């Protein structure tokens, strides 16, 4: 476009004419017009090729290209920042204990496991939930291979909202509402089930959501 402006104004026909005021000084062809466009787009401005005040169409084009260049640069920096700070990389620093345990806590039988954050930066609005997945047969004889049951980890009391400044013990109280209420130690060792734990939160630096999952099979749940 800069070359078209110079060509239409006749600047290329007055090269070396000191009495002629071109739109852009020292623009003598397509290559120099291309270099001036790059200097404007990237806001480099070496100073050898400069626009004059006798070219209003060039001034308008300069403003538009400067604004467009700033937007492109901001977009590229944002893409690079998002690529570097991917949420899945942040999720790798959230770790769970290798086993869950069934034990007494405050004279109440609880299923417990531990979760921790390896980084110094915090996960904002972190929340955790757990589900029990096992096969089930209804009273009518229907077989459900992957029945899902919620395990309460403090939703009623707000204990499912975590502040991971240090490793925390997540507890599920085994009471009348728990699917483990009628399960004995021997039955727990024989049953085939999986406990899926999902931790969600917001990365403090980027504001992006991240999610990490873990699970405990029947042989990974220890009694006592």
Does CATH number 3.30.70.330 belong to domain 88-223? no
| pLDDT at residue number 132 | 92
pLDDT at 87 over 70: no
97: its two tokens: 């204990």
Average pLDDT over residues 58-81: 84
C-beta of residue 192 within 8 angstroms of C-beta of residue 201: no
Q: Which CATH class is domain 2-84?
A: mainly alpha
| pLDDT at residue number 20 | 80
* Between 204 and 188, residue with greater pLDDT: 188
C-beta of residue 224 within 8 angstroms of C-beta of residue 188: no
Distance CA 69, CA 72 (A): 5
Distance CA 204, CA 8 (A): 54
Question: What kind and span of H or E run contains 30?
Answer: helix 30-41
Domain spans of the chain? 2-84, 88-223
Distance CA 129, CA 131 (A): 7
Ramachandran category for residue 125: left, alpha or beta (phi over 0 → left; psi -120 to 50 → alpha): left
pLDDT at 95 over 80: yes
pLDDT at 216 over 90: yes
Average pLDDT value for the chain: 84
Q: Give the residue among 78, 79, 102, 77 at the shortest CA–CA distance from 174.
A: 102
CA distances from 35 to 42, 48, 58, 70, 193 (A): 11, 11, 15, 18, 67
pTM of the predicted model as reported, rounded to 2 decimal places: 0.60
54: its two tokens: 């006798």
Distance CA 214, CA 212 (A): 7
Distance CA 14, CA 22 (A): 8
72: its two tokens: 């492109």
Average pLDDT over residues 105-125: 87
Bridge partners, 197 (sequence order): 130, 214
């Amino acid at each position: 476009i800069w070359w078209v402006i110079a060509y239409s104004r006749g600047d290329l026909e007055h090269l070396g004419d000191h009495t002629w005021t071109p739109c852009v000084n020292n623009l003598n062809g397509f290559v120099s017009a291309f270099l001036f466009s790059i200097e404007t787009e990237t806001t480099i401005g070496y100073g050898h090729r400069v626009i004059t005040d006798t070219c209003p169409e060039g001034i308008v084009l300069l403003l538009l290209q400067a604004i467009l260049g700033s937007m492109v640069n901001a977009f590229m920096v944002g893409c690079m920042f998002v690529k570097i700070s991917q949420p899945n990389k942040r999720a790798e620093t959230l770790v769970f204990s290798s086993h869950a345990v069934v034990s007494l806590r405050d004279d109440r039988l609880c299923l417990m496991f531990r979760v921790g954050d390896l980084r110094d930066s915090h996960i904002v609005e972190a929340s955790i939930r757990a589900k029990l997945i096992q096969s089930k047969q209804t009273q009518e004889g229907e077989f459900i291979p992957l029945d899902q049951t919620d395990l309460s980890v403090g939703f009623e009391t707000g204990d499912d909202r975590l502040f991971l400044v240090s490793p925390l013990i997540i507890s599920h109280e085994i009471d009348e509402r728990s699917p483990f209420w009628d399960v004995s130690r021997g039955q727990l060792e024989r049953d085939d089930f999986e406990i899926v734990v999902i931790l969600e939160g917001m990365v403090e630096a980027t504001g992006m959501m991240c999610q990490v999952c873990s699970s405990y099979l029947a042989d990974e749940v220890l009694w006592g």
